[in-house]
Amino acid sequence: MAQVTPLDRVAVITLDGLSGSGKSTLAKQLAVALNWSYIDSGAWYRALTWAVLQNGLAVDDSTQVLQVLSQIELTSDSDGMVVVDKQSLRDELRTQLIDKNVSAVADHFDVRDALNEKMRGLLAIENVKGVVADGRDAGTIIFANAPLKVFVEVPLEVRAQRRFEQQRKLDSDVTLTQVQHALSQRDSHDAHRGSAAPHPTDESYILDNSNQSVEQAVGRLLTWHQQIFAAK
């Protein structure tokens, strides 16, 4: 008889999309609505970047990054907050220093493989009945067997306008052009990560998140969840 692995036992929904598409907000709320766990894969890259910098090592050297990964205990709590050596990290992961360095960490394919294995390991934890995971390659690579994969789409101009409105509360000098330029640079960096570049699969559901409220979008996701998982 074929062995049942945690990947078969635990229900998984993935949400992928570009920076500023709102996927994390939706994924978090969907996880709450379903009472499932939440994995923010971007936060895992950020946490590893934080640990590399704390150790004074080089983010662009994959051997050093892997060394740090092998020495820390990296996991996440049920809210999706990443925990490094028992320290929950939130604001530490959203600094400009991490923003500046995280892409270099995410560019190493051997680091990606190791981090993906750790994220998959969360499914083996007892009592996890379902997981909502978001990122760039959550549905294409990390949880490629997920029964429901969603790709969140929002045009660059709309993402930039939303980000600009958030950022100008913190920095009154920031301009829409600057924000749009930064997002477009992140998009093009993400697009050059080969198979890990954000893209929908043939089976992905496309969620246009440009013109609806969070409640409406989560409602749509819950409908898809019903359709896919009720049929199983």
Look at residue 174 and give its three-state secondary structure.
coil
Of 27-35, 120-128, 131-139, 217-225, the window that binds ligand DC (rule: CB under 6 A) is 131-139
Q: Which of residues 185-224 bind ligand DC (CB under 6 A)?
A: 190, 196
Asked if 135 is part of the footprint of ligand DC (rule: CB under 6 A), the reply reads: yes
Site for ligand DC in 105-124 (CB under 6 A): 106
84 versus 138: smaller Cβ distance to ligand DC: 138
Q: Which of residues 112 and 225 has its CB atom nearest to ligand DC in the complex?
A: 112
| Residue 228 tokens, joined | 């896919």
- Measured CA to CA, the distance from residue 115 to residue 151 in angstroms comes to 21
- Sequence-distant (6+) residues with CB within 8 A of 158 are 210
159 binds ligand DC (CB under 6 A): no
Give the sheet arrangement for strand 74-76, strand by strand.
74-76, 82-84, 87-89
Binding mask 21-50 for ligand DC (x = CB under 6 A): --------------------xxx-xx----
Q: Tell me which stretch binds ligand DC (CB under 6 A): 53-61, 129-137, 148-156, 174-182.
A: 129-137
Q: Kindly write out the interface string for residues 68-97 of this chain, putting x where it contacts ligand DC by CB under 6 A and - elsewhere.
A: ------------------------------
The one-letter amino acid code at 181 reads H
- Asked if residue 23 lies in contact with residue 75, where contact means CB atoms within 8 angstroms, the answer is no
- Closest-by-Cβ residue to ligand DC is 42
Task: Give the count of alpha carbons within 13 A of 173, CB side only.
Answer: 0
**Among positions 31, 102, 131, 207, the unique one binding ligand DC when judged by CB under 6 A:** 102
Pairing of strands 82-84, 74-76: antiparallel
Strand pairing report for 11-17 and 148-153:
parallel
SS3 of residue 83 by DSSP:
strand
Site for ligand DC contains 163 (CB under 6 A): no
Footprint on this chain of ligand DC (rule: CB under 6 A): 19, 41-43, 45-46, 102-103, 106, 135-138, 190, 196
